[in-house]
Structure 1
Amino acid sequence: MPEESIVDRVHDGVHSINPLNKNTSTSSRAPNLTAYKVGTAVSWIVLVITSLVYDFSAPREGRHARRTIWGQNSHNHTPFAMNAVITSLYWLALYIMQCGYTWYLYKGTDEYVTAAVNVGGHFIVHNLLIFGFLHLWCRSHFWLALLLIVINFFNLSAAYFRHPTTPRVIHIATVSGPLAWNFVALFWVGAAAVHAHNLPARIVANIFIWSILGYGLLFLVVFKDYTMGIELSILMAAIGVSQFLTKVIAFQWIFAFVIMGLLFVLSIAVAMPGVIGQDPFKRGEIVNEDRERAPLLDEE
């Protein structure tokens, strides 16, 4: 066999098993589709079970203080602490949508299966990182937990910018929904890590919270992605409610509700042209490879 053929075959083999490669056809994804199915199912089930267990019971082993997910949130009530009910409902909705994403790997059309595979590697990495984060967070290893959140932020950001035309149902479940929470979690976990309970820390938090508005505006203006705006507004509501119920006389909950309102109204404004069928940039659709790096589309 010629040397060039051997090199080509080795390259193709490595390409087929790399979970972060971009696949554009059924033939290119066929060798590792089973791996994506198994990896997605196993990592998702492990994450869901872990989050449910630690919602109601604290880990039994570990040298540091051990608490439930929301017990830790209450005990370390920083200016970025979130309301347990709102945030739990947010993640419940994501988990349900992720079931639909998994369905596309088995029963979707060829275009949707390819789109699901394209973000599959990032989604599996996300599940594993959040699994590790939950163990560290509930055992009060805040700096290590923050490290995993930072790594996951880059992982999900890469998924967003590498696959901006993913169909909306897949996009929300595996990319924008987790990414919006992960960005807010940078402040949530970071505040716990530095023990932000005194007045100077709260003043700094009053400034940093506006970066969430800026982050949402980035996606609304540049990508016209109203899903990010709505998701961030929900998480701002979680912060606002938590801060209001804890400290009525404070700026943080006022700022959180203002940011929530701005993001929600602007998201609706961005979404409406697509809803009434007059948006020249239809976002969230499968497009050909030549337009693959265009901004996220509005409608499927």
Structure 2
Amino acid sequence: MSRLRKGAGKAVQALAGLILLVLGLCGFFALPASYATYPVVPPKEVAPRWVRGAFHVHTTRSDGRGSPLAVARAAKAAGLDFVLLTDHNDFTPPAPTWVDGVLLVPGVEISTSAGHLIAFGMERPLEGMQRWMPSGDAVRAVHAAGGTTVLAHPVQRHNPWTDSESASQAKGFELYSADTFFRHAMRNPMSRLLPAVGAYLANPMHGVMVLVAPEPEPGERFMELAREQPQLAFCAHDAHGLPSYESVFRSLAMYLPPAQVPAPLPSDAKAAAALVTGALRGGGALCSFRALGEPEGFALEGVDPERR
């Protein structure tokens, strides 16, 4: 009995020591984070203003932590104009609506045999949909409904896209994914996750940015697909509420040029959603890490639009 007590005591001491070490390291990373200020490049007064929003967001309609109202309030606090909701296999999402000054645009993340597929902008109801349907069937069903398809987190270890044929048929590609950054950090707890957690406690935006570590695979795969046909590139929040919606919304966003979408958006939710989805599918939207700077006034010169 005494040996068991001694063994249990040593285990408790070891656990307590580990907890103290983790707390100490979190404090070590929290201190410098408290001095970080964002955006890195101060914003300029540029007119007309660009409409900005979040792409690929989950709510309590699937596995998100927040209700649509909570998501809208977080987006408003972060200065966003719209949120494209993509709850898992939500084949009958609600109509576009304004909630607390933020436009909620319906979409869906479809589970297929080859991975997850984002669909938005459907002009007609999706037909024949089911969980874990063949990837090619899912892509064709979305296109038949007048929608746009985007490969979700296509190269991450958790639910990557595995079918080349249907990948080449999809219209878009998540080049950056906040959820992928988080999952990569989970696989590197000491070098990436712990510094991010410590920084997040003092400065949530800095904590999220510590997670950002782009890797070459998404860009390489994107360019491979783009050689076959032009691909739309997206910044995906893939937000579930952890890290908080607001901190992720403040860190990156999709921006719609004023030549395509005026600000403010129309008060009619359906008309406003049509403008947003039209710009996202039209290839003119920009992906920006807001923590580094706002892209208003950005211009790309020396590129022949006909030859891309």
Fold shared, TM-score > 0.5 on shorter chain: no
- Which structure's residues are more often strand, by fraction? 2
- Which structure's residues are more often helix, by fraction? 1
- TM-score normalised by L of structure 2: 0.30
- TM-score normalised by L of structure 1: 0.30
